[in-house]
Amino acid sequence: MNNFKWWQKTAVYQIYPKSFLDTTGSGTGDLNGITQKLDYLKNLGIGAIWLTPIYPSPQVDNGYDISDYTSIDPRYGTMKDFEKLISEADKRNIKIVMDLVYNHTSNQHKWFIESKSSKNNPKSDWYIWRDGDPKKPPTNWRSIFGGSAWTWCDERQQYYLHTFAVEQPDLNWENPEVRQALYDAANFWLEKGVGGFRIDAITYIKKPKKFIDGEPDNKDGSISVHTMTANTSGILDFLHEFKRKVFDNHDIFTVGEANGVSADELKNWVGDKGVFDMLFEFSHLVLPFTNGEIWCYPREWKLTELKKALSDSQNATKNNGWCPIFFENHDQPRCINHFMPKNSDPIKTAKALATILLTLRGTPFIYQGQELGFTNTAWDSIEKYNDISSHGQYQIALNEGFSPEQAMKFVHFFSRDNARTPMQWNEKINAGFTSGTSWLPIHDDYEKCNAEIETDDENSVLNYYIKLNDFRKNSETLLSGYYEEIFKDDENIFAFKRSSEKSKIYVLVNFTLNEVKFQADFLKNANLIFGNYQENEKGILRPLEAVIFEEAVK
Ligand code: NOJ
């Protein structure tokens, strides 16, 4: 355990600053709000905070459209506030981790403004430009948020490529000047003392040599740009250079967001020969999708698929590499709704998922509100949604022939706003998030689901997270022990064993609303150490029951 790095021993907490705590009455959260809540986070036992982007941005995609990589957006505060956050966090042994959005910039970034101004300016080649007929984009690629991935620019009389929104033009990583400018920006934050980076949408930075049409996955003749460009061969050369020029020789961690990388490719991305310390791969999150990640064609998935997705990455990093364990982030439905049956008791469910999150091998990432048991929200009209992808996907559903009511159902389930409703601190007005008008409605369950109530309730979801996280930190078996799946083919129970020289830990979770029985001989000498019910009869799991047993090795 001694040769473990600090970021392997701790849990990381993800903050969506816009929705965390507003100290000015503006209706959006700010950096001073985060500083104010550091003791809450210390009490939760986390050692790092990943901040989603706080750089200047027109906010088309809530900060993932950056117009300046080395400043703070005034809506969040000043560079002084940021420095204060770093130093106050440091006093509590908490590191601040920044989000690097390097596949694209905002179309308001000065680099893009220059690039689009002509075909022969110094930055003309900093983005992906193609000739074409203004009425027919160069390929049939559909952007992730819907609509063509190409937008015509009158000024240059050319198209530019955008994997995401029209306002998020893709950078041209083939140009060494672009790469150096990005490395310089990351080094700027290292000098400020940040503890690491989450690297956004990284699988899209390398484009294919030839830009050609793909087989449509949609009635309008388009195909997802993801299918055509994600994880293109040659991408790792860029990332090795990135690592060499920025990450190496710093006591930080890096975690890449890598939709499109599968567990069997992990060895090239993490571990001794890899480019990052951890990789957010998506196989457990994309289970409800058919192809193209379109919301209106959801599919039923089986528990064995979820178990396989998680086990594959556990096994792939067994001897080399490390996993981030995550069930939520600012792009996903709340995990209670995502992974558990409809009408599940939220408290039992939240604890059941926490049980897995904090006992798999890897660094757990807790997304704000997850530790309180937040659930999805459902607003009645698309106008109430802020999330750009909800609007795009709603339109896709209508184009595919679904009624507005049906289209809204997809939005209710998948909308990224589910994860973005403000933090619920107390029972007071606006859940204590803001004294002004909140930028996004507060979830209507805030009177019973908030940090203040849960701090005082020893059986709350929050206190379950605190106790189990504390246990994990001090358990050699949970930190370093091997992972082995039990009851692999069972469609009701997710069960696994972690084992070290010290002990064997067994984790069992019932994913159904029924009582289930199992052969429990292997638990003969093990003691129950955690559970979301009081007591447990070995061999029986009540609805949504989660248990952790431990057996010392003699
Ligand atoms: C992934 C981020 O998590 C998401 O919020 C954003 O919209 C896209 N990348 C584009 O940057």
pLDDT of 500-513, one tens digit each?
999 999 999 999 99
Q: To test ligand 1's pocket by mutation, which of 51, 64, 171, 279 has the most ligand atoms within 8 angstroms of CB?
A: 64
The one-letter amino acid code at 401 reads G
Supply the residue whose CA is at minimum distance from atom 10 of ligand 1: 64
Mean local confidence (pLDDT), 136-149:
96
* Per-residue confidence (pLDDT) for residue 2, from 0 to 100: 64
* Ligand 1 close to Cβ of residue 145 (< 6 A): no
How far apart, in whole angstroms, are the C-alpha atoms of residue 551 and residue 413? 40
Average pLDDT, the chain: 97
Q: Which atom of ligand 1 is nearest to the CA of 103?
A: 11
* Ligand 1 close to Cβ of residue 150 (< 6 A): no
* Ligand 1 close to Cβ of residue 81 (< 6 A): no
* Per-residue confidence (pLDDT) for residue 247, from 0 to 100: 97
* Ligand 1 close to Cβ of residue 64 (< 6 A): yes
Confidence of residue 496 (pLDDT cuts 50, 70, 90): very high
If 0-12 CB within 10 Å is exposed, 13-18 middle and 19+ buried, where does residue 114 land? middle
> Is a pLDDT exceeding 70 seen at residue 1?
no
Going across the sheet that includes 527-531, the strands are: 482-486, 493-499, 503-510, 546-552, 527-531
Per the rule left: phi > 0, alpha: psi between -120 and 50, beta: everything else, 429 is beta
Q: Which of 100-114, 289-303, 473-487 has the lowest mean pLDDT?
A: 289-303
* Per-residue confidence (pLDDT) for residue 73, from 0 to 100: 98
What's the gap in Å between 515 CA and the centre of ligand 1?
A: 39
If 0-12 CB within 10 Å is exposed, 13-18 middle and 19+ buried, where does residue 520 land? middle
* Per-residue confidence (pLDDT) for residue 207, from 0 to 100: 98
How far apart, in whole angstroms, are the C-alpha atoms of residue 235 and residue 233? 6
Confidence of residue 101 (pLDDT cuts 50, 70, 90): very high
Going across the sheet that includes 46-51, the strands are: 278-280, 253-257, 196-199, 95-100, 46-51, 11-15, 363-367, 324-325
What's the gap in Å between 24 CA and the centre of ligand 1?
A: 27
Share of the chain above pLDDT 90, in %: 97
> Is a pLDDT exceeding 70 seen at residue 126?
yes
* Per-residue confidence (pLDDT) for residue 534, from 0 to 100: 92
pLDDT in tens, 239-261: 999 999 999 999 999 999 998 89
Mean local confidence (pLDDT), 33-51:
98
Supply the residue whose CA is at minimum distance from atom 3 of ligand 1: 331
* Ligand 1 close to Cβ of residue 101 (< 6 A): yes
305 has catalytic annotation: no
pLDDT in tens, 170-229: 999 999 999 999 999 999 999 999 999 999 999 999 999 999 999 998 889 999 999 999
Q: Considering 170, 257, 277, 331, which one is annotated as catalytic?
A: 257
User: Among candidates 250, 164, 176, 188, which has minimal Cα distance to 55?
Assistant: 188
> Rounded to an integer, what is the distance from CA 215 to the centroid of its chain?
29
Mean local confidence (pLDDT), 86-106:
98
Supply the residue whose CA is at minimum distance from atom 6 of ligand 1: 64
Does residue 433 contact residue 19 with C-beta atoms inside 8 Å? yes
* Ligand 1 close to Cβ of residue 61 (< 6 A): yes
How far apart, in whole angstroms, are the C-alpha atoms of residue 501 and residue 480? 10
How far apart, in whole angstroms, are the C-alpha atoms of residue 137 and residue 148? 8
* Per-residue confidence (pLDDT) for residue 554, from 0 to 100: 83
* Per-residue confidence (pLDDT) for residue 219, from 0 to 100: 87
* Ligand 1 close to Cβ of residue 164 (< 6 A): yes
* Ligand 1 close to Cβ of residue 65 (< 6 A): no
Sequence-distant (6+) residues with CB within 8 A of 477 are: 498, 499, 500, 502, 503, 504, 505, 550
* Ligand 1 close to Cβ of residue 99 (< 6 A): no
pLDDT in tens, 361-415: 999 999 999 999 999 999 999 999 999 999 999 999 999 999 999 999 999 999 9
What's the gap in Å between 197 CA and the centre of ligand 1?
A: 15
What's the gap in Å between 69 CA and the centre of ligand 1?
A: 16
Give the pTM.
0.98
What's the gap in Å between 455 CA and the centre of ligand 1?
A: 32
Supply the residue whose CA is at minimum distance from atom 9 of ligand 1: 201
* Per-residue confidence (pLDDT) for residue 188, from 0 to 100: 98
How far apart, in whole angstroms, are the C-alpha atoms of residue 411 and residue 439? 19
Q: Considering 200, 277, 281, 550, which one is annotated as catalytic?
A: 200
200 has catalytic annotation: yes
Confidence of residue 293 (pLDDT cuts 50, 70, 90): confident
> Is a pLDDT exceeding 80 seen at residue 421?
yes
